[in-house]
């Protein structure tokens, strides 16, 4: 059973639009929430991460919004570009896990049309 539920499975957005991907979790022991970006033929790469003591983190056109009470977090891609077309995974790991094992969502395939 997946501990991090991700939606949608795929989305298509026009260039310049906003892509929004949502994730939800149940385990309140999670304390680190990264997003990974994967291009075809490549392994996932860390894009941006947040901890539950902040509600929002922004890096360039990528923003994580975090709602601790709702146990949800989301990735917003502003001004989406064709180069952002990739699969995006949310993930979470637990406080007290010495090895920092990540639990991943199912992934969202984003296609940005020109």
Partner 1 sequence: DVKVTQSSRYLVKRTGEKVFLECVQDMDHENMFWYRQDPGLGLRLIYFSYDVKMKEKGDIPEGYSVSREKKERFSLILESASTNQTSMYLCASKLQGERGYTFGSGTRLTVV
Applying the rule CB under 8 A, the residues between 4 and 23 that interact with partner 1 are 6, 9
Q: How far is CA 31 from CA 13, 89, 104, in A?
A: 31, 17, 14
CB atoms within 10 A of CB 72: 14
Query: Nearer to partner 1 by C-beta: 2 or 28?
Result: 2
The residue from 75, 102, 110, 112 that contacts partner 1 (CB under 8 A) is 102
Q: Using CB atoms within 10 A of its CB, is residue 1 exposed (0-12), middle (13-18) or buried (19+)?
A: exposed
User: Counting contacts by CB under 8 A, is residue 96 touching partner 1?
Assistant: no
Which parts of this chain interact with partner 1 (CB under 8 A)? 2, 6, 9, 32, 34, 36, 41-46, 49, 89, 91, 93, 98-107
């Amino acid at each position: 059973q997946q501990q991090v539920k991700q939606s949608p499975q795929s989305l298509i957005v026009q260039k310049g639009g906003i892509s929004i991907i949502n994730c939800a979790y149940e385990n309140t022991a999670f304390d680190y929430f990264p997003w990974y970006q994967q291009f075809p033929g490549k392994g996932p790469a860390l894009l941006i991460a947040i901890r539950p003591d902040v509600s929002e983190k922004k890096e360039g056109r990528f923003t994580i919004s975090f709602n601790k009470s709702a146990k949800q977090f989301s990735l917003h891609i502003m001004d989406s570009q064709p180069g952002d077309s990739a699969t995006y995974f949310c993930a979470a790991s637990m406080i007290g896990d010495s090895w920092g094992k990540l639990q991943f969502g199912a992934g969202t395939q984003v296609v940005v049309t020109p």
